Chain A
Amino acid sequence: MTEQVLINLNNVKKVFFTEEVETHALADINLTINAGEYVSISGPSGCGKSTLLSVIGLLDIATHGEYALNGHQVINLKNADRARIRNKEVGFIFQSFNLISDLTVEENVALPLTYRDDFTSQQIKEAVKTALEKVDMNHRCSHFPSQLSGGQQQRVAVARAIAGKPSIILADEPTGNLDSKNAEAVMALLDSLHQDGATICMVTHDPRSAKRAERLIEILDGKITADNVISRGIHAA
Chain B
Amino acid sequence: MKWLFDIKYAYRMLLKNPGFTSLTVSVMAAGLGLCVFMLAFISSILTRPLPFEQGEQMHMIELEYDGVHYNGGSIMHPDYLTIKEQSSSYSDIGAYYTATANLSNGDRAQRYSAAVTEANMFSFTSTSPIMGRDFTEQDATSGAEPVTVIGYDVWQNYFNGDQSIVGQSVKINGVDTLIVGVMPQGYLFPMAAQLWQPLTEDATRVKRSEAAHMAIYVKKKPEVSLEQANQEVKDIMNKIAQQYPETNSKSSAYVATFQKWMMGDGTNMIIGLMLTAVSFVLVLACVNVGNLLFARANERAKETAIRVALGAPRSRLIMQMMWESMFICSLGGLFGLFLAAWSLELLETILPQMLPISVPFWWVMSLDNELILQSIVIILITALVTGILPAWKMSSSDFNAVLRDGTRGAMGKKAGRVNRVLVIVEVALSCILLSLSGVLFVVLQEINNSDFGANIDNKLTARVGLPEVNYQEDNKRMQYFKRLIEKLSTIPGVNKAGAVSGLPGNGNGYRAFQPEGYEVTENQYPRTGQGVTYIGSMQAMEMKLLEGRYFDSRDRVDSLPVTVITESMAKKYWPTSSALGKRFKYVDGDDPQWLTIVGVINHVIQGQPFSNVKYRTSAYLPYSQQTRRFMSIFVDTQGNPEQYREALISAVASIDPEVPAYSISTLSERLKRSTGGMNFVRDLFAVFAVCALLLASSGIYGVLANSTSRRTQEIGIRRAIGASDERVLSMLMKQGWFQLVIGLAFGLPIGYLASQGVVQMLGPDTNNYYIVFAIIPVIISLVVTIATFVPAKRAIKMEPCTALRYE
Contact = CB atoms under 8 A, between A and B. Distances in A.
Interface of A: 50, 54, 57, 59-60, 79-80, 83-88, 90, 92, 94, 96, 98-103, 107, 110-112, 114-115, 120-121, 160
A112 B9 contact: no
A100 B404 CA distance: 16
Contacts of A50: 404
B311 A88 contact: yes
A84 to B, nearest CB: 6
17 contacts: A59-B400, A79-B314, A85-B311, A87-B310, A87-B312, A92-B309, A94-B403, A96-B406, A98-B403, A100-B303, A100-B307, A103-B9, A111-B307, A111-B310, A114-B2, A114-B316, A160-B310
A81 B311 CA distance: 9
Say what secondary structure dominates the interface of chain B.
helix
A166 B352 CA distance: 73
B431 to A, nearest CB: 36
A86 B403 CA distance: 15
Nearest to A104: B12
Nearest to A116: B311
Contacts of A84: 311, 313
B313 to A, nearest CB: 6
Indicate the member of A83, A90, A96, A110 with the most B CB atoms within 10 Å: A83
A115 B5 CA distance: 10
B207 interface: no
B655 interface: no
Given A59-B400, A98-B306, A100-B306, A83 B312 contact: yes
- What 8 A-B pairs are tightest by C-beta distance, nearest first? A87-B311, A86-B311, A112-B310, A114-B2, A121-B1, A98-B306, A83-B311, A114-B5
Nearest to A103: B9
Given A98-B302, A120-B1, 10 more contacts: A59-B399, A59-B403, A83-B308, A83-B314, A84-B313, A86-B310, A92-B309, A98-B403, A103-B9, A111-B310
A103 B546 CA distance: 86
Given A54-B400, A96-B406, A114-B2, A102 B312 contact: no
Contacts of B1: 120-121
A49 B294 CA distance: 33
Nearest to A79: B314
A102 B404 contact: no
Indicate the member of B302, B311, B314, B404 with the most A CB atoms within 10 Å: B311
B753 interface: no
Contacts of B554: none
Nearest to A89: B311
Interface in B762-804: none
A186 to B, nearest CB: 19
A169 to B, nearest CB: 13
Contacts, number: 66
Nearest to A101: B303
Interface in B301-336: 302-303, 306-314, 316
Contacts of A86: 309-311
B647 interface: no
A103 B11 CA distance: 12
Contacts of B2: 114-115, 121
Interface residues of B, number: 24
Indicate the member of A90, A98, A101 with the most B CB atoms within 10 Å: A98
Contacts of A88: 311
B206 interface: no
Contacts of A115: 2, 310-313, 316
B13 interface: yes
Contact of A102 (B5, B13, B314): B13
B16 interface: yes
A156 B79 CA distance: 89
Given A98-B403, A102-B13, A103-B9, A59 B303 contact: no
A201 to B, nearest CB: 15
B722 to A, nearest CB: 27
Contacts of B406: 96
Indicate the member of B302, B308, B310 with the most A CB atoms within 10 Å: B310
Contact of B313 (A54, A80, A121): A80
Interface string B6-30: 0001001100100000000000000
Contacts of B306: 98-100
B5 A110 contact: yes
A120 B5 CA distance: 13
Nearest to A112: B310
Contacts of A114: 2, 5, 316
Interface in B379-401: 399-400
B13 to A, nearest CB: 6
A60 to B, nearest CB: 5
Contacts of A57: 309
B357 to A, nearest CB: 58
Nearest to B302: A98
A139 B309 CA distance: 27
Contacts of A87: 310-312
A110 B312 CA distance: 12
A210 B310 CA distance: 25
Indicate the member of A84, A96, A115, A120 with the most B CB atoms within 10 Å: A115
Contacts of B311: 83-88, 90, 112, 115
Nearest to A57: B309
B385 to A, nearest CB: 24
